Amino acid sequence: MPSIEEWMEKQDVETTDNIEIPELLMDQVIGQEHAVSVVRQAARQKRHVMLIGDPGTGKSMIARAMTEFLPKEELQDILVYPNPDDPNTPLIRVVPAGKGKEIVDSMRAEARKREQQQSQMMATILALIVGGAIIAAIFTGDLTIALFGIIAAAMIYLIGTRGGMIQKREEKEIPKLLVSHDKGDSPPFIDATAAHSGALLGDVRHDPFQAGGLETPAHLRVEAGAIHKAHKGVLYIDEINTLSLPSQQHLLTAIQEKEFQITGQSERSSGAMVKTENVPCDFILVCAGNLDAVEGMHPALRSRIRGYGYEIYMNNNMDDNEENRKKLVRFVAQEVSKDKKIPHFDKGAITEIIREAQRRAGQKGKLSLRLRELGGLVRVAGDLAVSEGKDIVTAEYVIRAKEVARSLEQQVADRYLKRRRAYQSFKTSGTEIGTVNGLAVMSADPSMSEFSGLILPIVAEVTPAGSKSEGKIIATGRLGDIAKEAVQNVSAILKKYMGKDISKRDIHIQFVGTYEGVEGDSASVAVATAVISAMENVPLYQDMAMTGSLSVHGAVLPVGGVTAKIEAAAKAGLKRVLIPKANMQDVLIEEKYKGKIEIIPVETLRDVLENALAGKGKKNLLKKLERLQPSVVSKVDLDSEKSASKMPSRKRKKDMGAN
């Protein structure tokens, strides 16, 4: 593929204003052809779907678009009526869409009419009583008769209305409309993400006045849940694992039976005594989440989805080709159209967005599908243009938006880097023995598509062994499990390459300033290099940083976040960086860093040492490494993980050493 600039010049696009946007929401989904195809089929056949993938890849958009392909069928209104035989078991009736509102309106009109008739009759009776009392008082001359007449009328009025505190009997007999539709409505799409049990399954409100004629009838306190509102439509639940297991069990029942009773969800509420007849809930379940969502799902619920639907794993990137680049151009136009508050993008701005999609993919020949974050970049660039009164967003605003819209991790990493440089936590020039600049990424959050690089200074020192029986590797810096295991692997490399008895030495490895801890094995190369430098007393260049995982055979293995690490090294003022050769295809640094730092690919630990070592001892050490054969001459234990010695595998090693 040609570069983005060359490709964009050949496109017949001046701004996003003249790009056609598909009408169907499903056709606006980018890069998820497999998911779209399966969901279309699932909608036609009314199958359940589980969408698993990274945030921002289009799961909710696909679920919402599913209603466009549901088979045409008449929607239904659901009403709840009072039950004269058992007030705590309200009756459920289903009518065609639009009829429910007509029924309720007609019954309410009849109730008002009867109420008016009763009011007129009451007024007539009161007028007769008061009028008769006044006439009698006039003829007899006794005013007390008039007074008693007025009091009697007032008492009759109060008894007849019961002080106005109680609902009219006619109103209590009116059914409640639980689910309402109009004729011609599209199938409903109900988002029940993070819904509590009452909102999901329905509930019956608590009645504080439960006796004395002040109570609210049970059927008027019934509330429909999301599963009932989604009847004949789609119920969408994101992060399905956040639902409690009882709620998942009830959801499974609703899927199986296609109907579910409504009852009070709180046992302390008076609604707990109310239980309606079965309420229809024939819906398509579309649940979504990350990979960890599968672990938190009820096994029976997942089995139901697999048996009567589809499981789909979303793409997080797509091939960098002609067709997909055009899709990203359309994506920018879609975001501008949806926002309605930002101007259109020109060719240069679109080029920058596509280049950013390349970078965030983290792999050459790919484009990122974390489109929610790219959409955020589009909106920030548009806001910058609006703030300056521009009618078109240019490349300049997108470049500025990258700085404005940096993630929290990137902002923290920048301040962290400045603070370390101010206190000289690491050097960017000269040479040092046993000190190397490693590279790391800060908080590799799966919800983010971009990493934040950090300089990770590592210092090693070799001292006489504290124990007569063995030497130890003592690593400090709040290492995680994977990082500890990586340090253990380094011990095998040391025995292989050094070829000398190290049982009389303790090796101390310090990860400087790692107050939040270290996890992962991408510092293996840096650890091994620092230790070899300390053991052989050969200095290392300090204008260099390195990253890479190390196998026990001395091969440098690929790691993640290479682009962010290289940019962090360049930002810190380092001149060279060593990375695994296999990661060269993943390097997509920004233009402003090109020319500031030299990227050196390495395949073996020897390649690393050849580039990192300095001084007179370099040649002798490299020659010695060439002629040495792997030789295990001692046992090295990791002091910071004593629990490992209790494992059976460690015990077998001890037994082998004793023999």
Q: Which positions are annotated as active-site residues?
A: 522, 565
CB-based contact 130:153 (threshold 8 Å): yes
The pairing of strands 91-96 and 76-81 is: antiparallel
d(CA 344, CA 342): 7
Tokens at residue 178, please? Answer: 């639980």
Query: Which residues have C-beta within 8 Å of that of residue 363, sequence separation ≥ 6?
Result: 317, 585, 586
Count of all residues that appear for the chain in the document: 659
Dihedral in degrees, nearest 10, Cα atoms 220, 225, 228, 230: 130
Query: Which residues have C-beta within 8 Å of that of residue 210, sequence separation ≥ 6?
Result: 270
If you ran DSSP here, which 8-state letter would residue 468 be given?
S
CB-based contact 199:192 (threshold 8 Å): yes
> First CA to last CA across the chain, in angstroms?
61
Where does residue 653 fall: left (phi above 0), alpha (psi -120 to 50 degrees), or beta otherwise? alpha
Q: Specify the amino acid at residue 369.
A: L
Where does residue 215 fall: left (phi above 0), alpha (psi -120 to 50 degrees), or beta otherwise? beta
d(CA 312, CA 305): 11
Helix (H, G, I), strand (E, B) or coil at 233: coil
CA distances from 287 to 44, 59, 172, 238 (A): 18, 9, 39, 6
DSSP string, 10-31: TSS-SBGGG----SSTGGG--S
d(CA 382, CA 578): 38
Strand ranges (E), 343-411: 344-345, 366-368, 392-393
Burial readout 624-645 (b: 16 or more C-beta within 10 A, e: otherwise): ebeeeeeeeebbbbbbbeeeee
User: 425 — phi, psi (to 5°)?
Assistant: -70, -20
CB-based contact 273:205 (threshold 8 Å): no
Q: Specify the amino acid at residue 318.
A: M
d(CA 309, CA 288): 13
CA distances from 653 to 234, 631, 633, 649, 650 (A): 58, 16, 13, 6, 5
d(CA 181, CA 161): 36
Helix (H, G, I), strand (E, B) or coil at 434: coil
Which residue's structure tokens are 């290492």? 479
Tokens at residue 349, please? Answer: 């701005």
Which residue's structure tokens are 């690491």? 426
Tokens at residue 310, please? Answer: 């589809």
d(CA 49, CA 235): 10
Query: Which residues have C-beta within 8 Å of that of residue 143, sequence separation ≥ 6?
Result: 137
Handedness of CA 539, 545, 549, 554 (dihedral sign): negative
Helix (H) or strand (E) holding 384: helix 371-387
